[in-house]
Amino acid sequence: MRTNIILSGVGGQGILTIAAVLDTAALNENLFIKQSEVHGMSQRGGAVQSHVRISDKEIFSDLIPEGKADLILSVEPMELLRYLPFLKQDGWLITDSETFQNTSNYPDKDDLFKEIGKYPNHIIVDATQIAKKIGNSRIANMVLLGAASSIIPLSESSMIEAIRRLFQHKSEKIIRLNLEAFNEGKKVAEGIINLADS
């Protein structure tokens, strides 16, 4: 088993937190993991991406070759499009529908969704709005991780335990909000995947 995941977004959207949950959950399951350095963290609003590779055998490179990503998980739709050359033929695209317009020539939202829609395996989640309803827009990253959870070959219990461990220094309320976000994302994605399969 080997799974290659590209995480993308902009600074401040919690890409590093998603990577940390995946890393912790994989280690809980005694799997090998390699993660590339996260780029762009120094500039809030700047592009951020990380490669996460999970395997039951030793991994020698932390970078995913073009055409080999099983999943591109993005907290921002335009940032997702940057990494399309890395997606394998039957790979998955998952992104928030909320845009972060950090350039003057940001493309039209409908054009972005049309481009993403060309790929059969895609899920566009209104993650920021779901997170706001739960009580904190900053947990949109956990909504998206929940949406991707059925595609990632890690058990739900390992991911939940990883979320608990990563936020253990915070309040019980913060842990509960992140877990609720994860569960809501999971429910939304299950509905979309079930519709695609029917």
Please state, in angstroms and rounded to a whole number, the distance separating the CA atoms of residues 123 and 125.
6
Please state, in angstroms and rounded to a whole number, the distance separating the CA atoms of residues 62 and 111.
32
DSSP tag of 63: S
Phi-psi label, residue 42: left if phi above 0, alpha if psi -120 to 50, beta otherwise: alpha
Please state, in angstroms and rounded to a whole number, the distance separating the CA atoms of residues 58 and 28.
16
Cβ distance 143 to 131 under 8 Å?
yes
Please state, in angstroms and rounded to a whole number, the distance separating the CA atoms of residues 160 and 175.
10
Ordered per-residue pLDDT tens for the chain, 198 residues: 899 999 998 876 788 899 999 999 999 999 999 998 766 554 556 778 899 999 999 998 889 999 999 999 999 898 899 999 999 999 999 999 988 876 777 878 888 899 999 999 999 999 999 999 998 989 999 999 999 998 999 999 999 999 999 999 988 999 999 999 999 999 988 876 654 444
Please state, in angstroms and rounded to a whole number, the distance separating the CA atoms of residues 105 and 179.
36
Instruction: Count CB neighbours of 183 within 10 A.
Output: 17
Answer whether 0.85 is exceeded by the pTM. Answer: yes
Please state, in angstroms and rounded to a whole number, the distance separating the CA atoms of residues 76 and 141.
10
Phi-psi label, residue 58: left if phi above 0, alpha if psi -120 to 50, beta otherwise: beta
